[in-house]
């Protein structure tokens, strides 16, 4: 068991560290907020990519079935789907994910 004098000394030592501990706590809170924002941004980007990939896959499947069933050439249409649909949204999501976040 500690004596009252030892307890007072321990309390004085801990009180002297309060500003440093407060600064560390603020840094940890900021790091946690940044990590949470990155996780949120990653989740949004992943959801958009998966949803869009499903839609493009459905469009390609439709074109392939249409070409097989009706004996129509669909390769030009598939190329158009890729040029018009896939590339712009891919770059949109990449820009969202890697874009800078400026707060004033």
Answer yes or no: is 104 within a domain.
no
Cβ neighbours of residue 64 closer than 8 Å, sequence gap 6 or more: 74, 78
Cβ neighbours of residue 42 closer than 8 Å, sequence gap 6 or more: 97
Answer yes or no: is 67 within a domain.
yes
What is the spatial distance between Cα 39 and Cα 66, in angstroms, rounded to a whole number?
40
What's the rounded mean pLDDT across residues 9-13?
72
What's the total number of domains in the chain?
1
Q: What is the pLDDT of residue 39?
A: 84
Q: Which two tokens stand for residue 81?
A: 């789907």
Answer yes or no: is 35 within a domain.
yes
Is residue 74 a contact partner of residue 63, using CB atoms and an 8 Å limit? yes
Answer yes or no: is 40 within a domain.
yes
Which residues form the domain of 24?
4-98
Share of the chain above pLDDT 70, in %: 75
Answer yes or no: is 34 within a domain.
yes
Answer yes or no: is 13 within a domain.
yes
Q: What is the pLDDT of residue 1?
A: 64
Answer yes or no: is 103 within a domain.
no
What is each CA distance from 42 to 59, 83, 88, 91, 94, in whole angstroms? Answer: 26, 25, 19, 15, 10
Q: What is the pLDDT of residue 104?
A: 40
Answer yes or no: is 89 within a domain.
yes
User: For residue 62, what is the enclosing H or E element?
Assistant: helix 18-70
């Amino acid at each position: 068991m500690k004596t009252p004098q030892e307890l007072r000394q321990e309390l004085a030592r801990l009180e002297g560290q309060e500003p440093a501990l407060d600064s560390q706590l603020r840094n940890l809170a900021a790091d946690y907020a940044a990590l949470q924002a990155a996780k949120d941004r990653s989740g949004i980007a992943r959801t958009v990519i998966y949803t869009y990939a499903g839609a493009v896959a459905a469009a390609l499947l439709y074109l392939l079935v249409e070409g097989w069933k009706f004996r129509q050439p669909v390769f030009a249409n598939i190329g158009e789907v890729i040029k018009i649909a896939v590339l712009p949204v891919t770059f949109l999501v990449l820009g969202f994910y890697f874009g800078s976040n400026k707060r004033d």
